[in-house]
Amino acid sequence: MVSDISMAALHVLMGLKTRVVLPPPFLCCGFPAYANGQAEMHSQNGLRVTILLNQIRDMFTHLEFDGCVVTCGTCREGLNEMEAAKLFGGRLVDITRYALERDLQLAGTGSESYLYHAPCHDSLDGKALDVLDQLGGFGSVKPVPIAAPRQGRCRCPVPTFPPQCCTANASR
């Protein structure tokens, strides 16, 4: 996770009085390796992460988990492939949706206009504008048009080298 995003997510979870169990630092779902055709690296990483997640679950058998909360759709895809939801309450859920389920409402005048850029791997399943509307505190929110995927790659216009998902470096 990107450290600023991680800290913001922790702030929201703590504000909601949620008990949080953090994975070890620099844990990566491995999806960037998969997206870049590095099947062996993806497979090795997937096995490593699956073992670590099982160890975390075994260490905290006395806790009841609500789910595995993510801030990144790419990570959600990778963790879904590893069946992480089965270990942690039966679901993978985006931090925004999790907060909304716990009645988080944003205070604000709602007079500002915002642009929203949907991520390549949307952890809100294309419902982000509805979720933002439910959270409140925003004026109008308009989606930024996104180009069609190029040659099977992500649709994000942000150039990266080597060509990869725009969130591939998030775990470093």
* 167 CB-side CA count, 13 A: 24
Quick one: average pLDDT of 26-51? Answer: 87
Residue 164: the pLDDT is 42
Residue 13: the pLDDT is 93
Q: Mean pLDDT over all residues of the chain?
A: 78
Residue 170: the pLDDT is 39
Residue 159: the pLDDT is 42
Positive or negative, the Cα torsion across 72, 76, 42, 160? negative
Work out the burial of residue 79: count CB atoms within 10 Å of its CB; fewer than 13 is exposed, 13-18 middle, 19 or more buried. buried
Whole-model pTM: value is 0.72
Distance CA 116, CA 70 (A): 19
pLDDT at 59 over 90: yes
| Comparison of pLDDT for 125 and 96, the residue scoring more | 96
Residue 148: the pLDDT is 58
| Angle at CA of residue 99, ends 98 and 102, nearest 5° | 95
Residue 150, φ and ψ in degrees, nearest 5: -100, 120
Q: Which of 170, 84, 67 is nearest to 121 (CA)?
A: 170
Residue 168 binned pLDDT confidence (cut-offs 50, 70, 90): very low
**Amino acid at site 164:** Q
Residue 172: the pLDDT is 33
